[in-house]
A and B are shown apart, each in its own frame.
Chain A
Amino acid sequence: MSKINLIIDGQKIEVEKGMTILDAAKKINVNIPTLCHHEDLCVAGNCRVCVVEVKGRERLEASCATPAEEGMDILTNTAKVRNARKDIVSLLVSEHNTQCTTCYRNTNCELQDLAAEYNVDGDRYLSVLKPNIKVDKSSWSIEKDDSKCVRCQRCVRTCAELQHVNALTVSHKGNEMKISTFADLPFNEVVCTNCGQCVNRCPTGALTERRYFDEVWEAIGDPNKHVVMNTAPSVRVALGEMFDNEVGTRVTGKMVTAMRKMGADSVLDTDFGADLTIIEEGNELLTRLKSALVDGDKSIKLPMITSCSPGWVKFIEHMFPNHLGHLSTCKSPQQMFGAMTKTYYAEKKGVDPKDIVSIAVMPCAAKKYEANRPEMNDSGYRDIDAGLTTREFGLMIKQAGLDFNNLEDTEFDSIMGQSTGAGIIFGATGGVMEAALRTAYAVVTGRSVPFENLNITPVRGTDGIRAASIKIEGTLPEWSFLEGVDLNVAVAHGLKNARIIMDEIAAGKSPYHFIEVMGCPGGCIGGGGQPIPTNADIRAKRTKAIYEEDMSKPIRMSHENPEITQIYSEFLEKPLGHKSHELLHTHYRKRNRY
């Protein structure tokens, strides 16, 4: 890569050719404000907030979209630049529904920050906000309020580039230009997977998750209700960000205490559901392998693909409806947990399941949709009654008046509160695969996976698709058919990569036996319900925290979780048994691609 030299605010700097002015400035800690820019996404150059002066040019340049050139002399802080930025922010405000006090994103809004920074006068321009904008609340997961949209198109780029879903588009032009679904249909009628990545990248309150905390508070306040809360692994490594902790801080103990203080009757761990998923899914995989390899059953679909991620599940239902047989029939940990709450837990605790309100705190927007899928009530009751995002939960802690950072650490309740490191790592891309391999290998060979500290590093990392091959040797007699087999596995995260995996399968060219797919980039730690912002650096730090949490656990294989052993002996009897099929497994439906 060749280097070029330029000057930014009087400071000489050498950068790689092709780098934008914005990135060059960042290198020397010159802060240029941005709005449409997002490091996960391609350059747009739309909002024009990041304009800078290039000496010798009359017009200002958008620093995010302009490559640095040899000899450029750039000024980022002149009257001309400041006035232009202030005008632009003022214009955005004039197009905006400025009822900030009633906005969900109040105090965490990039437009608000810019307006404050440039001390924008609300009367400077007339309002050109379109009247009578209706908020689309049709989806279980996502709300769209065009009156708060700044047309930065981050959502459109997210949906297209990262997720290959293209549920969102830019429509019309000029003063009518807006962000639309197909034909402006309601969200619940289009191909949206509810992944919430758009929500996570929206700089304002235009795209938000549908909130359920009022219902949750109501249940907590109802003495006749028994409120069971469970939290996903990724929440505990991100929630701290809501309380100004450093990114990657683990706050498991404080989180548990907070729930208890908020009034939950029982604070449990979704990771238990993850461990349960590993048992069921691992056995499902081994059964499929046996049917295919030993019995030669052609109807068995391989590779088998994980079904933990509800955004991914809806994606395959829309985009590859003829390949649903590849999905594991296992419900996700959330839904398994919910089903057990309304049956096993209810029985053990002697609570009538109709009085139980099960609440899942998730890093996810799609989990809300999953909780509301009509088939998710095999016990006769909804598996999960309400899904909250990490963000909603953080806000509830504030509403409860808790001094989060000074809460003491406490442990999850029992039963269904114990979990393993394997359950924890579900939160990071590759984690389900690693957890499954830890258990499957142990079940088949009676020995631990041949990786130091059980850390199966080949499936970890940030590459969009990662493949690994594990030779199974020294099998126990009942699994001898697997002796010497190279188990080919792959991990994909972000729906863009899921599509690549599926195209391979559709073409009959997939070399894998088992694939983990997570809908969101980075897996759940980068989920659509996580604190805003989320970017590559933040995802890396949360991932690190996940693996630290794993290492901190005394038990790191799902099948060794004593509560798992207990639930099979007391209730489920055996993996893939009758009760499992009834309560822990599900089916999928074909959906329209367009």
Chain B
Amino acid sequence: MSNNKLKRADILFSSYSVAPYEILKRTMQKDKDFVINELTESGLRGRGGAGFPTGLKWKFFAQEENETKYIICNADEGEPGTFKDRKLLVEVPRKVISGMAIAAWACNAKNGIIYLRAEYNNLIPELKKEIEVFNEYAKKFNLEFNVEIYSGAGAYICGEETALIESMEGKRGEPRNKPPFPIQNGYLGKPTLVNNVETFAACSMVCRYGAAEYKSYGTSDQHGSKLFSLSGDSPKEGVHELELGMKVSDFVEEYGDGDTKAVQIGGVAGFCIPRKEFDTTIIGEGNTTGGATMIFNSTRSMYNVIHNYLDFFAEESCGQCTPCRIGTQQLLKGIEAVKSGEKPESYLDDLVKLSKTMKLTSKCGLGQSVTNSFSSIVKNFREEMIY
């Protein structure tokens, strides 16, 4: 598909060359349908991980006719290895709020909520200041859009949009059955648009540069820039904005410590790519777009890595559906049993099969995605699982 080399981008964190909320102001001078269409044209996909086309989501949301509609910025950034939303909220909150405001204007919604994870509570004072600035401009622009911050209470699963909504309604953060989708029936039963922090920031960038220019970044399939939260065995840990479509090998060459044995793409819900596949794997293609990237060098035990992931999943599953609640525990106990010799090596194959069932039958993305890291680690580092 693409032989893109690693290309840095400087879009999301580029400094403002215009007055505050100028992008919002200029966008509001355009036609609403045109703006939504631009988003569709830009090829932007949700940056939280699921990768749903953003323009399409906005289009559906705009079609919902209701006096009360909610726009929720999902800042429940709980995926281990992800911290780019924190950086956006700290450094360029204006772009995020602009994106929300553009959505509000384009889709006729008046209520905005930033769902901020509890771990980020220390960001609230600065965010509130920015919201006050926004309110001034909104008034000037005659835009009726009220933005509030809702603080989470500590649950990874609330990053799933329906769990997030349940939580805001004062309930246990358990994902809902879908359909209906939040676009039709979301927070308090009202149409609700939930987008990730980065998605909103990217939306305002699409509006700033126009679909054509935004689309020129990346590849023919993966458009625009993407933030990568890089951690692990790298001398360059931190958030990096890159064009999509690079090979893992390019990534490793730039960011590895010279001894990289595996790269986890898309957080613990994503895939673990072993060295032998660095050349053939393109980031963002067939793997998730959340952007959490962890590098492991040859001193790391991949057994410890997957054990840590599974521990996390077993704890953070909401617990309501069977495959996720029990499956996560089984995988964890299972690898321990193989390691200790209580179960034969072949049990690993049974566990991989189980993780596939979890993918087929779990209610939400959490249980469905466990197999990604589990199968890729067990398959590629099998000997580490045993000895």
Interface check A87, CB cutoff 8 A: yes
Which B residues touch A551, using CB under 8 A?
Answer: none
Given A91-B330, A170-B172, are A151 and B177 also a contact pair (CB < 8 Å)? no
Which A residues touch B317, using CB under 8 A?
Answer: 173-175, 177
Within 8 A of B (CB), among A281-315: none
Which B residues touch A153, using CB under 8 A?
Answer: 320
A173–B156 alpha-carbon span in the complex (Å): 11
Interface check A41, CB cutoff 8 A: no
Question: Smallest distance from the beta carbon of A56 to chain B beta carbons, Å?
Answer: 14
**A91 is contacted by which of B179, B323, B350 (Cβ under 8 Å)?**
B323
* Cross-chain contact B323 with A88 (CB below 8 angstroms): yes
Which A residues touch B328, using CB under 8 A?
Answer: 174-175
Interface check B314, CB cutoff 8 A: yes
* Cross-chain contact B319 with A173 (CB below 8 angstroms): yes
A46–B329 alpha-carbon span in the complex (Å): 17
* Cross-chain contact B179 with A88 (CB below 8 angstroms): no
Interface check A95, CB cutoff 8 A: yes
Interface string of A121-145 (1 = CB under 8 A from B): 0001110100000000000000000
A30–B325 alpha-carbon span in the complex (Å): 29
Query: Looking across the interface, which residue of chain A has its beta carbon closest to that of B333?
Result: A126
* Cross-chain contact A87 with B354 (CB below 8 angstroms): yes
Of A58-66, A330-338, A446-454, A497-505, the segment with at least 4 beta carbons within 8 Å of chain B is A58-66
Interface string of B312-324 (1 = CB under 8 A from A): 0111111111110
Most buried by A among B177, B318, B361: B361
Interface string of B112-145 (1 = CB under 8 A from A): 0000000000000000000000000000000000
* Cross-chain contact A91 with B314 (CB below 8 angstroms): no
* Cross-chain contact A60 with B361 (CB below 8 angstroms): yes
A91–B333 alpha-carbon span in the complex (Å): 13
Within 8 A of A (CB), among B315-351: 315-323, 325-330, 333-334, 337, 343, 350
- Which DSSP category, helix, strand, loop or mixed, fits chain A's interface? loop
A84–B155 alpha-carbon span in the complex (Å): 28
Query: Looking across the interface, which residue of chain B has its beta carbon closest to that of A47?
Result: B322
Query: Looking across the interface, which residue of chain B has its beta carbon closest to that of A150?
Result: B322
Question: Smallest distance from the beta carbon of B3 to chain A beta carbons, Å?
Answer: 29
* Cross-chain contact B360 with A84 (CB below 8 angstroms): yes
A48–B319 alpha-carbon span in the complex (Å): 13
Interface check A526, CB cutoff 8 A: no
A44–B322 alpha-carbon span in the complex (Å): 12
Which B residues touch A66, using CB under 8 A?
Answer: 177
Interface check A51, CB cutoff 8 A: yes
A170–B357 alpha-carbon span in the complex (Å): 25
Within 8 A of A (CB), among B357-382: 357, 359-363, 368
A46–B354 alpha-carbon span in the complex (Å): 18
Given A126-B330, A128-B333, are A175 and B323 also a contact pair (CB < 8 Å)? no
Which A residues touch B327, using CB under 8 A?
Answer: 91
Interface check B203, CB cutoff 8 A: no
Given A45-B177, A173-B155, are A80 and B322 also a contact pair (CB < 8 Å)? no
A172–B320 alpha-carbon span in the complex (Å): 10
Which B residues touch A464, using CB under 8 A?
Answer: none
Interface check B265, CB cutoff 8 A: no
**B321 is contacted by which of A48, A128, A170, A175 (Cβ under 8 Å)?**
A48
Question: Smallest distance from the beta carbon of B136 to chain A beta carbons, Å?
Answer: 41
Question: Smallest distance from the beta carbon of A32 to chain B beta carbons, Å?
Answer: 14
Query: Looking across the interface, which residue of chain B has its beta carbon closest to that of A152?
Result: B322
**B359 is contacted by which of A59, A172, A175 (Cβ under 8 Å)?**
A59
Which A residues touch B329, using CB under 8 A?
Answer: 95, 128, 175
Given A47-B321, A174-B328, are A87 and B316 also a contact pair (CB < 8 Å)? no
Question: Smallest distance from the beta carbon of A95 to chain B beta carbons, Å?
Answer: 5
* Cross-chain contact B330 with A125 (CB below 8 angstroms): yes
Interface check B206, CB cutoff 8 A: no
- Which DSSP category, helix, strand, loop or mixed, fits chain B's interface? helix
A153–B174 alpha-carbon span in the complex (Å): 13
Interface string of A392-411 (1 = CB under 8 A from B): 00000000000000000000
A-B contact count (CB 8 A): 114
Question: Smallest distance from the beta carbon of B322 to chain A beta carbons, Å?
Answer: 5
Interface check B157, CB cutoff 8 A: yes
Which A residues touch B326, using CB under 8 A?
Answer: 91-92, 94-95, 128
Which B residues touch A537, using CB under 8 A?
Answer: none
A94–B329 alpha-carbon span in the complex (Å): 10
Which B residues touch A126, using CB under 8 A?
Answer: 330, 333-334, 337, 343
Most buried by A among B179, B353, B360: B360
Which A residues touch B177, using CB under 8 A?
Answer: 43, 45, 62, 65-66
Given A125-B330, A174-B328, are A88 and B155 also a contact pair (CB < 8 Å)? no
Query: Looking across the interface, which residue of chain B has its beta carbon closest to that of A81?
Result: B360
Which B residues touch A80, using CB under 8 A?
Answer: 360
A83–B327 alpha-carbon span in the complex (Å): 15
Interface string of A63-86 (1 = CB under 8 A from B): 001110000000000001001100
* Cross-chain contact A170 with B320 (CB below 8 angstroms): yes
Interface check A222, CB cutoff 8 A: no
Query: Looking across the interface, which residue of chain A has its beta carbon closest to that of B179?
Result: A67
Which A residues touch B321, using CB under 8 A?
Answer: 45-48
Query: Looking across the interface, which residue of chain B has its beta carbon closest to that of A67?
Result: B179
Given A47-B321, A175-B329, are A62 and B172 also a contact pair (CB < 8 Å)? no
Given A48-B363, A151-B320, A173-B319, are A88 and B333 also a contact pair (CB < 8 Å)? no
A566–B131 alpha-carbon span in the complex (Å): 83
* Cross-chain contact B325 with A60 (CB below 8 angstroms): no
Query: Looking across the interface, which residue of chain B has its beta carbon closest to that of A123?
Result: B343
Query: Looking across the interface, which residue of chain A has its beta carbon closest to that of B368?
Result: A59
* Cross-chain contact A172 with B319 (CB below 8 angstroms): yes
* Cross-chain contact B323 with A48 (CB below 8 angstroms): yes
Interface check A176, CB cutoff 8 A: yes
Interface string of A22-62 (1 = CB under 8 A from B): 00000000000000000000011111110100000011101
Most buried by A among B326, B343, B359: B326
Query: Looking across the interface, which residue of chain B has its beta carbon closest to that of A58?
Result: B360
* Cross-chain contact B361 with A46 (CB below 8 angstroms): no
* Cross-chain contact B361 with A84 (CB below 8 angstroms): yes
Which B residues touch A88, using CB under 8 A?
Answer: 322-323, 357, 361
Interface string of B72-113 (1 = CB under 8 A from A): 000000000000000000000000000000000000000000
A174–B316 alpha-carbon span in the complex (Å): 5
Most buried by A among B313, B327, B329: B329
Question: Smallest distance from the beta carbon of B354 to chain A beta carbons, Å?
Answer: 6
Which A residues touch B322, using CB under 8 A?
Answer: 46-49, 88, 91-92, 150-151
A88–B326 alpha-carbon span in the complex (Å): 9
* Cross-chain contact B319 with A175 (CB below 8 angstroms): yes
A95–B357 alpha-carbon span in the complex (Å): 17
Query: Looking across the interface, which residue of chain A has its beta carbon closest to that of B354?
Result: A87
Within 8 A of A (CB), among B136-176: 155, 157, 172
* Cross-chain contact A60 with B360 (CB below 8 angstroms): yes
Which B residues touch A125, using CB under 8 A?
Answer: 330, 334, 354
Instruction: Report B's interface with A, CB cutoff 8 A.
Output: 155, 157, 172, 177, 179, 313-323, 325-330, 333-334, 337, 343, 350, 353-354, 357, 359-363, 368
Q: What are the nearest 6 A-B pairs in CB distance?
A: A177-B319, A91-B326, A65-B177, A87-B357, A174-B317, A45-B177
Instruction: Report A's interface with B, CB cutoff 8 A.
Output: 43-49, 51, 58-60, 62, 65-67, 80, 83-84, 87-88, 91-92, 94-95, 124-126, 128, 150-151, 153, 170, 172-177
26 A-B contacts, Cβ less than 8 Å apart?
A: A47-B321, A48-B322, A51-B360, A62-B363, A65-B177, A84-B360, A88-B323, A88-B357, A88-B361, A91-B323, A91-B327, A91-B330, A92-B322, A94-B326, A125-B330, A125-B354, A126-B343, A128-B330, A151-B325, A172-B319, A173-B155, A173-B315, A175-B315, A176-B315, A176-B319, A177-B319
Known: A46-B322, A66-B177. 20 other contacts (CB 8 A): A43-B177, A46-B363, A47-B322, A48-B321, A60-B361, A62-B361, A87-B354, A88-B323, A92-B322, A94-B326, A95-B325, A126-B337, A126-B343, A170-B320, A173-B157, A173-B317, A173-B318, A174-B314, A174-B317, A174-B328
